[in-house]
Amino acid sequence: MTLMMAAALWQFDLQAQQALQGGPDLVSPEIHADRKVTIRVHAPDAKEVKVSGEWMPAEGFMPGSALMTRDDKGVWSYTTPDPLAPELYTYAVLVDGYRALDAANPFLQRDVATVTNVFIVDGPQADFYKVNKVPHGSVTKRWYPSPGLGMERRLTVYTPPGYEAGKEKYPVLYLLHGAGGDEEAWMTLGRASQILDNLIAAGKTKPMIVVMPNGNVIQEAAPGEESKGFYKPQFMIPKTMDGTYETHFQDIVKFIESNYRVKADKAHRAIAGLSMGGFHSLHISRLYPNSFDYVGLFSAAILPRRQDAVLPAAYDKMDETLATQMKNGYKLYWIACGKTDFLYKNNLEYREKLDKMGMKYVYRESEGGHTWRNWRVYLTEFTPMLFR
C-alpha cells in the first residue's frame, strides 16, 4: 500500500485494503504458543519459494534455507520443525531464487548492505531485547565537531531514564561497532537501548550514558545519513583500522564530557566494542592508558597492524603501552569470544600475551561465532559489571 491509496482505504474500508495489498492479509511471522514459527508469503506466480533464517544451520558461509509449501491460493508457508529458543531471529525469503523480504513483516534490520526481516521469540535473555513496560531512556542522534578529523560527525547517545529531569552525574560507556557498521548498528542490530532500559529497570545495571560513535573515519555519519547521500554500505571501509580513529578518539570523549552531565574520570569511563570495535577498544584504552577503568573486547578483531596504516605510531610500542595501562591499574578487562569465532585463535594468542605480561583480564567463552547473537549476550553480561 502506498499513501496514494489512502483515498481507497478511507472511503472503501478494509475490504479495499485487502484488494490493494494484492492478496490476503497474511499473518507472518506467526509465533505459536509452542514457540514454533510460521512464515507465509503470497506468491501465486512463483515456481519455488524458500525461507532462509538465522535459526537454520548455515550451509558453508551461506545461511541455510528451506522450501516453503504452496496452497491452492498461492500462499507459501513454512513452519519451523522445532520450537525456537527465545532469541531475536533474522530471515529472508527466496522467490524463484531472488532474495526478497516477507512482505507481511515490516520489521527489518540492515546489516552492512543487507536487509533482513526480524522477529523475537519471547523468553529469558530474549526478553532483554524487547521494549517492555519499564522506564525508557532517550536516544539522540547528534552531531559533534571532530577537529582531529576535520569534520562534523554523527553519533548516537543513550541517556538513562531520569537523565533530563535530574541533576546527577552519570558514568559513560563508549560502545563501538564492527567493520561495516556505524552509529546505528548497536541500536538496531544490538538492541542496545532495550537492553539498557531492561537491565537498569531490573536493578542489574547502573544507570549510565552509552555513546555509540561512528568508527569509520571517512564517514560523517551512517550511509544515507551523511552528505555523500544514498550509497551502498561496504564491509571493508578505508582507514578504519589504520590508527586514525584511535588517535582522534579524544574528540568524542571531550565532546561528551563538555555536553553531558558525566562523571569525567577514569573510574566512570568504560569502552567496549565488537570485532573491529574490540580492536579499537583495545588500542584506545592502551593509547590513553589512564582513561578507562573498564574495557570490553567482544570477539575482538585482534589482527596485526595494517601495512597501510596512516598513523602507524598508534600501533607501535604495544608492549610498553599495555605495561603502562597495567601499571596504572583498572577494574575490569573483559575478553569475550565464541568457540567457533574465526578470530578465536587471535584472541587466544592475545590472552597468552597478556598472561605472559601478567596483565589481568576476565575471559568469557561462549558458544557460537562472530554474531550479533553473541554481542547482545555480551552486552547484557558486561554492563552489570560496570561502575561498581
The interface region with a copy of itself, picked from 175-183, 264-272, 312-320, 325-333 by CB under 8 A, is 175-183
259 binds a copy of itself (CB under 8 A): yes
* C-alpha distance across the termini of the chain, in Å: 51
Least distance in angstroms from the C-beta of 264 to a copy of itself: 17
Smallest gap from Cβ 189 to a copy of itself, in A, equals 8
The nearer residue to a copy of itself, 342 or 360, going by C-beta atoms, is 342
Residues near 241 by beta carbon (within 8 Å), at least 6 away in sequence: 276, 279, 280, 301, 303, 306, 309
Scanning residues 31 to 50, which ones bind a copy of itself (CB under 8 A)?
41-49
58 lines the binding site for a copy of itself (CB under 8 A): yes
Contacts of residue 330, defined as CB under 8 A and 6 or more positions apart, other chains included, come to: 266, 285, 292, 293, 294, 295
> Among 221, 267, 215, which residue's Cα sits nearest to residue 238?
215
User: In the stretch 63-102, what mask flags binding to a copy of itself with x, by CB under 8 A?
Assistant: x--------------------------x----xxxxxxx-
Q: Which of 18, 132, 290, 328 binds a copy of itself (CB under 8 A)?
A: 132
Compute the distance between CA of residue 116 and CA of residue 55 in angstroms, rounded to an integer.
13
C-alpha grid cell for residue 17? 485494503
Query: How many residues contact a copy of itself, by CB under 8 A?
Result: 96
Answer for which of 334, 372, 382, 387 binds a copy of itself (CB under 8 A) is: 372
CA 109 – CA 149 distance, rounded (Å) = 29
Q: What are phi and psi of 191, to 5 degrees?
A: 55, 35
In the window 4-23, what residues touch a copy of itself (CB under 8 A)?
4-11, 13-14, 16-17, 20, 22
Exactly one of 200, 221, 295, 322 binds a copy of itself (CB under 8 A); which one? Answer: 221
User: With binding defined as CB under 8 A, does residue 167 bind a copy of itself?
Assistant: no
The 3-state DSSP class for residue 202 equals coil
Instruction: Determine the 3-state secondary structure of 384 from DSSP.
Output: helix
